[in-house]
């Protein structure tokens, strides 16, 4: 059975906290699980599938036990920040196959309160770990090469942060609510060339959760119906140093797969949640997904084209990772949540896209300039 149209997003929940020094990580997982069940109108006893990633203390066995879940299907795929988009696709597969009927997906953690555990390393460790690769400088290297090949400018990148800030001003929970200008971004301190501080996302505690379910269950609940019609996932790495190309991501594969399944094109999308760990992340993804041609992302994002009510492609209307929330340094969860808000008509009235019936949520995980994953999900209001 195809997963197209067979899995419904019946529950969404974003933890309101951005700094949670007095809570445990497991506790935050439980809080978002409670929150999402309340949003959906379900109880814990209804959950028969559970999905979590590397942020869940002790992994899926410990987390399911802590939460007191009894499930017949589980998945702990970890692809960094896009894990939850991958989980959404996998949950849809499980529901289409009859492996579960109510899937719970949780994310939570506290990077604002304390340091995160070191990134897991593979066989490359001896050959790379000494060189100090961090998210900032790896994404800086992507931006540097993009500028070199396509003439992309810091001003163009800054417009992405400007658009996010226009949206964040209306979000009472957003970490950063001040509207900023291109000049503000360019005048913020340089972190790793050519990325300034305001090219970088926020670091926040908190989390979020989703409920994915069957059509029959979704129709028995009270929320507007939102279903998945396309999903794609992909991996990319330098593969022996031969395939190194920092100007595109695995989104060039996950995007077309999702669009093909959904039977729609980028032109049809009314709202897009695009992973925004850095401004360059957004610019590259917009190109890779086909919203503009490769190399023309700079022109595409300039002059407010991503601002709801102003430009052609409203994006990250919650303020995104750049301004609102990037819980546990993993932004895939909040990308799905805001897309569902838009499809339900529950976004803030100042940023709600009129008659939003088709939305995309896309993310990458890992390090864009090294080894990473991408996942694209296309959702529609029924």
Partner 1 sequence: MMDSTVKYPAPQGNPETKAFWDATVEGKLMIKRCTACGEPHYFPRSICPFCFSDKTVWEESSGEGEIYTFSLMRKSASGPYAIGYVTLKEGPSLLTNFVDCDMSSLKIGQKVKVVFKTTDGAPLPFFTPV
Distances (CA, A) of 353 to 149, 251, 307, 332: 34, 24, 10, 21
Question: Whose Cβ is closer to partner 1: residue 116's or residue 129's?
Answer: 129
> How would DSSP label each residue in 264-292?
--GGG-SEEEE--SBHHHHHHHHHHHTSS
Cα 212 from Cα 93, distance rounded (Å): 11
CB of 294 to partner 1, least distance (A): 16
Question: Whose Cβ is closer to partner 1: residue 125's or residue 310's?
Answer: 125
Question: Whose Cβ is closer to partner 1: residue 22's or residue 131's?
Answer: 131
Cβ neighbours of residue 132 closer than 8 Å, sequence gap 6 or more: none
Question: Whose Cβ is closer to partner 1: residue 123's or residue 216's?
Answer: 123
CB of 242 to partner 1, least distance (A): 6
Question: Whose Cβ is closer to partner 1: residue 371's or residue 381's?
Answer: 371
Cα 363 from Cα 276, distance rounded (Å): 8
Question: Whose Cβ is closer to partner 1: residue 1's or residue 130's?
Answer: 130
CB of 201 to partner 1, least distance (A): 14
CB of 143 to partner 1, least distance (A): 8
CB of 52 to partner 1, least distance (A): 30
Cα 83 from Cα 61, distance rounded (Å): 17
Residues in contact with partner 1 by the rule CB under 8 A: 123-134, 136-138, 140-145, 148, 189-195, 238-242, 244, 246, 369-370
Describe the strand order of the beta sheet including 372-381 as a list of residue ranges: 73-75, 49-51, 102-109, 206-213, 7-14, 226-236, 372-381, 358-366, 271-274
Cβ neighbours of residue 8 closer than 8 Å, sequence gap 6 or more: 212, 213, 214, 215, 217, 218, 225, 226, 227, 228, 382
């Amino acid at each position: 059975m195809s997963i197209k149209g067979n899995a419904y997003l019946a529950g969404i929940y974003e933890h309101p906290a951005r700094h949670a020094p007095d809570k445990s990580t497991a506790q935050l997982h439980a809080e978002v699980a409670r929150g999402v069940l309340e949003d959906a109108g379900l109880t814990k006893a209804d959950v028969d599938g559970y999905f979590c990633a590397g942020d869940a203390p002790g992994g899926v066995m410990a987390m399911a036990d802590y939460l007191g879940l009894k499930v017949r299907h589980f998945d702990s795929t970890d692809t960094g920040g896009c894990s939850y988009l991958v989980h959404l696709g996998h949950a849809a597969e499980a529901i289409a196959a009859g492996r579960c009927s109510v899937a719970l997906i949780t994310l939570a953690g506290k990077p604002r309160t304390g340091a995160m555990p070191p990134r897991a390393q593979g066989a490359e460790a001896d050959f790379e770990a000494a060189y100090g690769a961090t998210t900032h400088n790896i994404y800086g290297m992507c931006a540097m090469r993009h500028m070199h090949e396509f003439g992309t400018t810091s001003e163009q990148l800054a417009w992405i942060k400007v658009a996010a800030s226009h949206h964040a001003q209306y979000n009472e929970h957003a970490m950063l609510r001040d509207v900023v200008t291109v000049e503000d971004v360019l005048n913020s301190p340089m972190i790793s060339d050519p990325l300034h501080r305001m090219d970088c996302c926020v670091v926040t505690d908190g989390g979020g959760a989703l409920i994915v379910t069957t059509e029959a269950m979704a129709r028995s609940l009270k929320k507007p119906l939102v279903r998945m019609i396309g999903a794609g996932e992909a991996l990319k790495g330098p593969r022996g140093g031969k395939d190194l190309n920092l100007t595109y991501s695995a989104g060039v594969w996950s995007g077309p797969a999702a669009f093909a399944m959904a039977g729609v094109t980028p032109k049809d999308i009314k709202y897009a949640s695009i992973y925004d760990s850095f401004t360059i992340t957004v610019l590259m993804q917009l190109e890779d997904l086909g919203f503009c041609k490769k190399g023309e992302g700079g022109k595409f994002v300039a002059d407010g084209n991503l601002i709801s009510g102003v430009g052609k492609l409203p994006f990250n209307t919650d303020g995104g990772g750049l301004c609102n929330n990037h819980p546990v340094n993993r932004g895939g969860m909040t990308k799905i949540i805001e897309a569902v808000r838009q499809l339900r008509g529950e976004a803030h009235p100042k940023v709600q896209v009129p008659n939003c019936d088709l939305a995309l949520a896309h993310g990458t995980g890992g390090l864009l300039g090294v080894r990473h994953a991408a996942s694209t999900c296309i959702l529609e209001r029924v």
